[in-house]
């Protein structure tokens, strides 16, 4: 999913190639799920004839400041991307020049814009989890108004960071995913910075040593800076990053020869190296449960719903290990119930037989009572 580096590279590309130019044409998709609370006609008429003054970003949100409001804003969701036609070269692969033989604009285009010098760009979204809005003052209303300091532009000073973590009695990964705490950090960035800082994703923030907090602060900066240095092109990320093995199957995922385990933290699939990232203090006796490949897939599919489409993160309150212990509920079979997935025929027959015997016993008891009366 696009996170701060991907959105920032898109912003820089628009800033370099589109700022100062006038919009001469605009086509908006008939997709009310993505185009939020504004009609196609109103959106198009609001952009045509306006000049792009600036391209701005906070967290994973991008917006264009025009010479007069309203301004188009973009939440990238799970698969949002910006494409620019006519740009000869750019590091960000999603912004690579579009060939004459390619479909243009893409059938997944949600907002297509023509500029007065002939340049064209498009915001696309294959998965339809992105949100595009037209706002008079994007920074004053949700979701942008609910975001915490931007991880690139406004990361709190290290001493303030240390002090802040000392007051947070929550798993460190869950905290860093909370966009109201620090904005722009998503799942892959958190996994990477925690791996680089050698911190377990379930470690309670307030239990971290001062040295660990400083290391985490440094790693946040280093990972984001490095990702931006290579234009958010993941193929150029350092080979020793855990990023490259996050999508591999459990049991077959390794980084620098060390095994990677997968658990759920804050409702998100989390990759970590148990040999390096150990729970400390009172949490050292905890043994987080590993996550199967299928379970990881199910979580990944729903992650975007909890990510960009809300200004602040609305994460699951129950997580593996110390963050929360769910009580296992046992299901009772009923004679007319539909068997759950994985239930064997033998179990179903046994359950129905038990239910039938209970029913017959109840009817017999009722007959006895009536006879006495």
Q: 348 with 333: CB under 8 angstroms?
A: yes
* Residue 198: band (very low, low, confident or very high) from pLDDT cuts 50, 70, 90: very high
**What mean pLDDT is predicted for residues 21-47?**
97
Confidence at residue 85, expressed as pLDDT on a 0 to 100 scale:
87
Is it the case that residue 55 has pLDDT exceeding 80?
yes
Confidence at residue 283, expressed as pLDDT on a 0 to 100 scale:
86
* 3-class secondary structure, 34: coil
**What mean pLDDT is predicted for residues 232-248?**
94
Q: 1 with 78: CB under 8 angstroms?
A: yes
Distance (Å) of CA 147 to CA 79, 181, 245: 21, 7, 30
Is it the case that residue 199 has pLDDT exceeding 50?
yes
Confidence at residue 348, expressed as pLDDT on a 0 to 100 scale:
43
* Residue 282: band (very low, low, confident or very high) from pLDDT cuts 50, 70, 90: confident
Helix or strand (DSSP H, E) at 132? strand 131-135
Cβ-proximal residues to 346 (8 Å cutoff; 6+ apart), any chain: none
Higher pLDDT, 328 or 361: 361
- Share the mean pLDDT of the chain: 82
Q: 262 with 270: CB under 8 angstroms?
A: yes
Q: pLDDT tens-digit profile of 342-354?
A: 445 555 455 455 5
Phi, psi of 111 (to 5 degrees): -140, 120
**What mean pLDDT is predicted for residues 182-196?**
97
**What mean pLDDT is predicted for residues 207-233?**
97
Of 106, 184, 193, whose CA–CA distance to 152 is shortest? Answer: 184
* Residue 32: band (very low, low, confident or very high) from pLDDT cuts 50, 70, 90: very high
- Whether the full predicted model's pTM is greater than 0.85, yes or no, is no
Is it the case that residue 314 has pLDDT exceeding 80?
no
Is it the case that residue 339 has pLDDT exceeding 50?
no
Confidence at residue 100, expressed as pLDDT on a 0 to 100 scale:
56
Is it the case that residue 258 has pLDDT exceeding 90?
yes
Residues annotated as catalytic (active site), given as ranges: 2-3, 60
**What mean pLDDT is predicted for residues 268-277?**
96
Can you tell me the distance from the alpha carbon of 252 to that of 178, in angstroms, rounded to the nearest whole number?
30
Is it the case that residue 341 has pLDDT exceeding 80?
no
């Amino acid at each position: 999913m696009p996170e701060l580096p991907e959105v920032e590279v898109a912003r820089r590309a628009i800033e370099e190639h589109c700022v100062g130019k006038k919009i001469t044409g605009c086509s908006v998709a008939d997709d009310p799920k993505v185009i939020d609370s504004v009609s196609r006609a109103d959106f198009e008429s609001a952009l045509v004839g306006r000049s792009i003054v600036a391209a701005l970003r906070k967290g994973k949100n991008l917006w264009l400041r025009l010479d007069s409001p309203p301004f188009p804003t973009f939440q990238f969701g799970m698969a949002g991307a910006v494409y620019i036609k006519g740009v000869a070269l750019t590091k960000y692969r999603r912004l690579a020049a579009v060939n004459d033989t390619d479909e243009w604009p893409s059938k997944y285009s949600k907002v297509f814009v023509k500029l007065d010098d002939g340049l064209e760009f498009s915001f696309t979204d294959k998965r339809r989890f992105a949100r595009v809005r037209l706002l008079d003052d994007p920074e004053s209303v949700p979701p942008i108004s609910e975001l915490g300091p931007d991880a690139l532009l406004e990361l709190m000073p290290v001493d303030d960071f240390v002090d802040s973590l000392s007051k947070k009695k929550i798993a460190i990964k869950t905290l860093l995913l909370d966009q109201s705490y620090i904005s722009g950090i998503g799942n892959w960035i958190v996994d990477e910075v925690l791996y680089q800082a050698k911190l377990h994703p379930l470690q309670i923030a307030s239990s971290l040593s001062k040295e660990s907090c400083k290391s985490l602060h440094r790693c946040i900066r280093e990972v984001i800076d490095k990702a931006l240095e290579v234009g958010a092109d993941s193929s150029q990320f350092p080979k020793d990053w855990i990023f490259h093995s996050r999508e591999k199957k459990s049991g077959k995922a390794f980084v620098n020869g060390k095994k990677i385990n997968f658990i759920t933290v804050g409702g998100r699939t989390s990759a970590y190296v148990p040999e390096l990232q150990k729970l400390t203090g009172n949490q050292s006796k905890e043994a987080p449960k590993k996550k199967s490949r299928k379970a990881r897939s199910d979580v990944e599919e729903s992650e975007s719903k909890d990510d960009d489409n809300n200004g602040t993160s609305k994460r699951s309150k129950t997580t593996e290990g110390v963050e929360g212990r769910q009580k296992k509920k046992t299901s009772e079979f009923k004679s007319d119930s539909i068997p759950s997935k994985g239930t064997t025929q033998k179990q179903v027959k046994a359950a129905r037989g038990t239910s039938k015997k209970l029913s017959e016993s109840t009817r017999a008891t009722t007959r006895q009572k009536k006879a006495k009366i």
